[in-house]
C-alpha cells in the first residue's frame, strides 16, 4: 500500500556516515580509549563527527585520549575542569548515539556541527548533552538516552517529570521550594 510508505527515502552512501555515529561504534571507540588510558577515572567524553575524546584523571592530572580516523593519541589537556565527578561510561547509552543526535537535531532544528558530551553538569550529576555550532540550545539526556524535556512546572506532567528527575531513588523528600 503506497500510503503506508514515505514519499521519499533518502539513500545515504555508507562512506558518508561519520564513523563515530554508526550504531555501536561510539561504544567500541570509548572502550578502546578506556583501555588505552589504563582504566583511569573518566571525567568527560566528547563525540563529534570526526573524533571521540575521553578525559581521565590520571596520576599526573587530567589527560585526554582521542580517537580520530582510527588512530588513538594522547595529550595533557588544558581543560577547564577543576574537579569533576568520575563516571562509568558503560552506564551511558553510547549505543544510542545516532538516535540521541537525531532527537537533538529535531528539537533544536539543527544538526550543524553537533557535539555530544558526557560530563558533570551540577553537583555530581553527570549527564549527556548535545550542542551545535553555531549554538542553538543544548539538549540534555539522561544516562539511558532519554531526553530531558524543557519543563513547564505549571502542568502536572512537567511537575511530575521534574520531581522524578530531582528525587531519583530517594525514599524521602524533606522540602520542595
pLDDT surpassing 60 at residue 4:
no
Query: CA–CA separation, 162 vs 153, rounded Å?
Result: 8
Return d(Cα 165, Cα 159) in angstroms, integer: 10
Place of cell 563525540: 47
User: What is the distance of C-alpha 70 from the center of its chain?
Assistant: 20
Angle at 65 between CA 89 and CA 95, to 5 degrees: 35
**Predicted TM-score (pTM) of this structure:** 0.79
Tens of pLDDT, residue by residue over 126-162, are 999 999 988 888 999 999 999 998 777 788 887 787 7
Q: Which cell numbers hold the place of 24?
A: 555501536
DSSP assignments along 65-110, one per residue:
EEEETTEEEEEE-----SS---B-GGGS-GGGHHHHHHHHHHHHT-
Buried b / exposed e over 64-86, threshold 16 CB at 10 Å, is bbbbeeeebeeeebeeeeeebee
Give me the chain's average pLDDT, please.
Answer: 82
Q: How confident is the model at residue 13 (pLDDT cuts 50, 70, 90)?
A: very low
Point out the least confidently predicted range of 36-40, 77-81, 124-128, 135-139.
Answer: 77-81
CA geometry: angle at 158 spanning 91 and 84, to 5°? 35
Amino acid at each position: 500500500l503506497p500510503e503506508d510508505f514515505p514519499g521519499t527515502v533518502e539513500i545515504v552512501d555508507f562512506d558518508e556516515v561519520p564513523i563515530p555515529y554508526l550504531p555501536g561504534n561510539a561504544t567500541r571507540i570509548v572502550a578502546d580509549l578506556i583501555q588505552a588510558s589504563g582504566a583511569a577515572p573518566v571525567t568527560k567524553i566528547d563525540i563529534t563527527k570526526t573524533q571521540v575524546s575521553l578525559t581521565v584523571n590520571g596520576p599526573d592530572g587530567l589527560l585526554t585520549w582521542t580517537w580520530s580516523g582510527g588512530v588513538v593519541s594522547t595529550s595533557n589537556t588544558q581543560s577547564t575542569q577543576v574537579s569533576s565527578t568520575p563516571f562509568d561510561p558503560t552506564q551511558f547509552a553510547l549505543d544510542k548515539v545516532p538516535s540521541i543526535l537525531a532527537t537533538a537535531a529535531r528539537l533544536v532544528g539543527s544538526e550543524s556541527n553537533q557535539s555530544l558530551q558526557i560530563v558533570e553538569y551540577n553537583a555530581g550529576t553527570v549527564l549527556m548533552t548535545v550542542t551545535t555550532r553555531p549554538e542553538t540550545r543544548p539538549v540534555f539526556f539522561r544516562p539511558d538516552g532519554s531526553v530531558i524535556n524543557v519543563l513547564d512546572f505549571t502542568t502536572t506532567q512537567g511537575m511530575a517529570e521534574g520531581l522524578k528527575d530531582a528525587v531519583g531513588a530517594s525514599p524521602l523528600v524533606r522540602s520542595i521550594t
